[in-house]
Amino acid sequence: MKSLSKSTTIMFIFDLIILSLSTYFVGSYLAFDLKILLLAICLVVIAGLGTLFLKGNYKIREFNPTFWNYYRMFEGMIFTHIPVGILLYFFVDKSTLIKFLGVNILIIYFALCIYRFCFHYYLFNFKTVKKILIVGVNERAKALADEIMNKPALRMEIVGLVRTDAIERKILEMTREIFHLTKDEEKILEAETEQEELVMDDKVPVFEDGRDIYNIVKKTEADIVIFTYASQLMSAIPRGVKEYLMPQFYEMVTGKFYMDFKNAVDFRCEFSRKNTFVYDFFKRAFDIISALIILTVTLPITAYIAIRVKLTDGASPFFSQTRVGQDGKTFECYKLRTMYVNDYVPKDGEDIKYAESVKGDDRIIPFCRFVRKARFDEIPQMINILKGEMSIVGPRAEWANEAAVFEKEIPFYRMRNLIRAGWTGWSHISMGPCFSVDDERERLAYDLYYIKHRNVFWDIAILVKAVFLACGGRHK
């Protein structure tokens, strides 16, 4: 996973300095013992950086100076000081503790807010806009252009498009020869590579001859050249100008996998060649340990919910659904029941709704609305994880009836089953609930991005953030 900006690293360092210096000076002013002071600094720094990450405060390009964002920042500083408050309770008097917490929270809060406000102002008023030249006038170019134009915080401007008809015809011919495409697959690839007129700003020129790429780059003063397909033209780019393939750049901008025929084929080939033995070993250990901890910690909550559901209508508080797992194999997924007994079955069509996600659904047992929001109903899935049917982090384990609908509507949908289904995942913490086939198509893009870039440290970060969001009733 690559980043387009160093802003996050700079912000992380700035936050670390603010958290540590403020705690040091406030603690010194209140005459804390040196050992206690050093321990307090460590707790504030660790809890502070963790809380800022979990609350999304390192998505600097998405941090707008709104009341809601500033409120979340203040809420985060309260959470940050809970561990150090517990520590100091045993070593300093209550009045000193209150002074420390009050002053330190305010100093850190205002320092972080001022920095973020200034950065946001700099980003939109002074930061140099990067000039983007896209080589290709096809579906890939259109998708990337839409992302750039719809995200002004990226501070990017498209300075030109370059036609590459001959190159893309060659790509099509080579793909036909290598992969022995069926007639339907050929139609898909032809549609994706076909040169078309994009709906762009009138000020964006379209250059007709890609062979003159060197002079085009010079003329447009492009900072970044993005190729929709690999070609020999990449060697003609002037030194000092960054170059990317469209799928790679798209991932950096969106955090999603770009789905088209050729990229899907490349993804599948790369996946089959990749040796993940070490990762799989540590991932399984991570799954077992995490599942046991979650089951143990939440046992009283699970028991309470089960008893209340049982008393509500007399039916079993537990139920199972047939879900689709790794390699398309089905398994029985365990859940706490949060709805009155019903026989819902999803229907084909674009307007498909998740029965478990529709707001105001009167089939939901009233007290279970927060249970669902906090995801306590999915705690029994830890049993599936211990059995090896699921993983803590991965693509959502989809209901078999819904998966059958999506497989008909969404190309390459089965690729999400290359790994174990997850209790939570990158798509879960990155987007809202899915209510349509288009939403599920976007979820697939997040899932494949995760499959492509997955690692144990990222798994841990996703789990921590998912638990944090669930405990606050804000899980998407």
Span 114-132, pLDDT tens digits: 988 888 888 777 778 899 9
Q: Is the pLDDT of residue 196 over 80?
A: no
State pLDDT tens for residues 2-44.
Answer: 554 567 778 888 999 999 999 999 999 999 999 999 999 999 9
Alpha helices in 221-367 (DSSP H): 246-254, 261-273, 277-297, 299-313
Asked whether the beta carbons of 223 and 132 are under 8 A apart, the reply is yes
Q: Once rounded to an integer, what is the mean pLDDT over residues 202-228?
A: 86
Q: For residue range 159-194, list pLDDT tens digits in order.
A: 999 887 665 565 556 666 666 666 666 666 666 555
pLDDT tens digits for 106-118? Answer: 999 999 989 888 8
pLDDT category of residue 464 using cuts at 50, 70 and 90: confident
DSSP string, 418-433: GS-EEEE-HHHHHS--
Q: Lowest mean pLDDT: which of 180-194, 256-270, 424-438?
A: 180-194
- Strands 224-227 and 330-336 come out as unpaired
Q: What is the pLDDT of residue 356?
A: 47
Mean per-residue pLDDT, 431-438: 79
Distance CA 368, CA 9 (A): 41
Average pLDDT, the chain: 83
User: What residues contact residue 34 under an 8 Å CB cut-off, 6+ apart?
Assistant: none
Q: CB pairs under 8 A, 24+ apart, for 205-214?
A: 205/159, 205/160, 205/161, 206/137, 206/160, 206/161, 206/162, 206/163, 207/160, 207/161, 207/162, 207/163, 208/163, 209/163, 210/135, 210/162, 210/163, 210/164, 210/166, 210/167, 213/135, 213/162, 213/237, 214/238
Cα distance between residue 377 and residue 370, in whole Å = 10
Q: Edge-to-edge strands of the sheet including 206-207?
A: 206-207, 156-162, 130-135, 224-227, 242-245
Tokens (6 digits) for 314 = 């007399």
**Taking residues 237-259, what's their average pLDDT?**
91
Locate 269 and state its tokens.
Answer: 């080939």
**Of 418, 400, 402, which is closest to residue 410 (Cα–Cα)?**
402
How many Å is the maximal CA-CA distance in the chain? 79
456 pLDDT more than 60? yes
Reported as a pLDDT band with limits 50, 70 and 90, residue 449 is very high
137, pLDDT greater than 70: yes
Rounded Cα–Cα distance for residues 286 and 289 (Å): 5
Domain residue ranges in the chain: 7-125, 130-254, 275-471
Higher-confidence residue: 439 or 191? 439
* Fold classification of 130-254 (topology level): Rossmann fold (3.40.50)
Residues, the chain, total?
Answer: 476
Distances (CA, A) of 9 to 59, 60, 96, 156, 459: 11, 11, 34, 20, 20
CA distance 161 to 208: 9
Q: What is the pLDDT of residue 172?
A: 58
Which helix (H) or strand (E) segment holds residue 412: the answer is none
> Residues 368-413: pLDDT tens digits?
888 887 788 899 999 999 999 999 999 988 888 888 889 888 888 9
Cα–Cα dist 276/471, whole Å: 32
- Tell which phi-psi region holds residue 240, choosing left (phi > 0), alpha (psi between -120 and 50) or beta: left
Please check whether residue 38 is in contact with residue 24, taking contact to mean a CB–CB distance below 8 angstroms. Answer: no
pLDDT at 70: 84
3-state secondary structure of 338: coil
Q: Work out the pLDDT band at 265, boundaries 50, 70, 90.
A: confident
H-only helix segments in 274-422: 277-297, 299-313, 368-373, 381-386, 400-409
Output DSSP code: residue 233. G
The separation between the first and the last C-alpha atoms of the chain, rounded to the nearest angstrom, is 23
Residue 347 has pLDDT above 90, yes or no: no
